[in-house]
Each structure stands twice: as structure tokens, then as C-alpha cells.
Amino acid sequence: QKEVEQNSGPLSVPEGAIASLNCTYSDRGSQSFFWYRQYSGKSPELIMFIYSNGDKEDGRFTAQLNKASQYVSLLIRDSQPSDSATYLCAVGWGNTGKLIFGQGTTLQVKP
């Protein structure tokens, strides 16, 4: 079992729809969770972080965390073609602060 798992996709949604991206992790002791967006050929860009169970909203983005199920998700409302990118889930590992990443989910938003 990989430490952080994501469906590689591609996930295709029409413009204006809600995109739902999911991630599971193996370490029950993990405390910090991050979502990065990566455009082709670019470096990852931090878009959300969450530490507590429940939802955290920032604009069109909502991160959801369920520690009991070891599950993190990212919802993108009113998806735009500019949201087309790879979304990386990352988990803070141990007390070093290092991040363990999933392989990423490719999102395609079709006009």
C-alpha cells in the first residue's frame, strides 16, 4: 500500500460543474494535509491546507478531512477551464515536516 494514494484520472468535468478529488493516506498519526495544483511543466502551487476534521473553504475550493477514514478531498465549485491541471495531495510526515505526495489526479474542465 502506498503512503498517499490518489486516482490518476483523468477526471473530466464540464465547465461550471463541481470537481471532486480524493486522496487516502496510510499513517493514522498524520496531522497536516495539503493540496497542490500543478500545471504542465510548472512546479506545484499550494492551494489549500487542512489540519482538523471537517471542511475548510477558500473561495471556490473546499478541503474536507476525515481522519477516522484517513481520507482527504478537494472540491472545486464552478470549475473553469483554467482549473485544468494536476492536483497533488500531500501529507505531512513525522516531525520533520517533509511531505509525502500522491501521484496526482489530472483534472480536465471542458468548456
Using DSSP, state whether 48 is helix, strand or coil. strand
Q: Pick one of 12, 18, 46, 57: the residue that binds another protein (CB under 8 A).
A: 46
Nearer to another protein by C-beta: 88 or 107?
A: 88
42 binding another protein? (CB under 8 A): yes
The CB-of-17 to another protein minimum distance in angstroms stands at 25
Q: Are 72 and 20 in contact (CB under 8 A)?
A: no
34 touches another protein by CB under 8 A = yes
Phi/psi of residue 84, nearest 5 degrees: -65, 115
Nearest to another protein of 17, 70 (CB atom): 70
Q: 70: left (phi > 0), else alpha (psi -120 to 50), else beta? A: left
Q: Tell me whether residue 11 or residue 100 sits nearer to another protein (CB atom).
A: 100
Pairing state between β 11-14 and 85-93: unpaired
Question: Taking CB under 8 A as the criterion, which residues in 67-106 touch another protein?
Answer: 88, 90, 92-93, 96-104
The C-alpha atoms of residue 110 and residue 64 are separated, in whole angstroms, by: 25
Q: Which parts of this chain interact with another protein (CB under 8 A)?
A: 4, 8, 32, 34, 36, 42-46, 49, 51, 88, 90, 92-93, 96-104
